[in-house]
Structure 1
Amino acid sequence: MSQIRSVFGTPVPELPVADVPRAQQYYREVLGFEVGWLYPGDEIGAVLRDNVTIFFRKKQPPFEAAIHWIHAPDIEASYRELTDLGANIVDPLAEKPWGLRQFTVQDLDGNLFHFHHG
């Protein structure tokens, strides 16, 4: 059996959203992403920021929201930026009992992002 270890890239989450263009606009204006692409028919699209890519797929509510963790090397700067942009911070920046400094953002469709450092 071969011991060659292949290389994996960064995972790309696909989030359920009610309206893909609306989600892209929110992520651009409030979370600082760039719109990557939008498939004809507005059923699927993507946004990009640094080394993070997120896909959106149109779903009919109700749907189960997704939860993602994003490492932020400068957590204080990330918190200030997203607060200043008007992100929906549902759990403010704090030191957690599990040893991480983190805060949580909720998007328009209920998807959660735990930004963390530590």
Structure 2
Amino acid sequence: MVHVLSSRTLLRPTDPERSRDFYQRQLGLAVYREFGTGPERGTVYFLGGGFLEVSGRSETPPSPAVRLWLQVADLAETHRELLERGVEIVRPPLKEPWGLVEMWIADPDGVPIVLVEVPADHPLRHRPGI
């Protein structure tokens, strides 16, 4: 068994400064650490139980198979805050057939970001048999 101590998702944006502005100013993620210098320096953001690292540069956007799933406590409040910060909402909050409330946005390179609220009565909030 691999004993994982920490994890992070790595993104190589086409425009690192634009992506850092999005994740830090518009999305409001807190910085965990920064490293290197210049426009392609690395910035690591807190992402719940993991981290998101924006570093380096890519000539092409990430694969459409890459997506971020971020759980928030109050999606209505998150929706309001993101609108105030000028974030384009790809799809407003909607309760899905599986019971989660989801809203979709995208980062500057088009990486889909699903913001999710788990309602109080959803099975994800409860551990059967406990």
Task: After superposition, give the CA deviation of every residue in 1:30-68 in whole Å (9 maximum; x if it has no partner).
Answer: 111345425235335224257463112311115414201
Residues 96 and 38 (structure 1), Cα distance of their counterparts in 2 relative to 1, 3 Å cut: same
Q: Which residue in 1 is equivalent to 2:73?
A: 73
Q: Distance in 2 between matches of 1:45 and 1:38?
A: 5
Q: CA deviation at 1:24?
A: 0.7
Long gaps (5+) in structure 2: 119-130
Q: CA RMSD in A?
A: 2.5
Q: Residue type of the partner of 2:16?
A: V
Gaps of 5+ in 1: none
Residue of structure 1 in register with 2:58 after alignment: 59
Q: Aligned partners of 1:6 and 1:41: how far apart in 2?
A: 34
Q: What CA deviation, in whole Å up to 9, does each residue of 1:13-42 have, x standing for no partner?
A: 112311212211222221113454252353
Paired residue total: 114
TM-score (norm: length of structure 1): 0.78
Aligned to 1:29: 25
Q: TM-score, normalised by structure 2?
A: 0.72
Which has the larger strand fraction? 1
Match of 1:48 in 2: 45
**What amino acid maps onto 1:33 in structure 2?**
L
Distance (Å, rounded) in 2 between the aligned partners of 1:106 and 1:5: 32
Q: Is the 8 A contact 2:42 2:53 kept in 1?
A: yes
Q: Which amino acid aligns with 2:117?
A: H
CA distance in structure 2 between the aligned counterparts of 1:108 and 1:97, rounded to whole angstroms: 29
Cα distance change on mapping 1:6 and 1:99 into 2, 3 Å: same
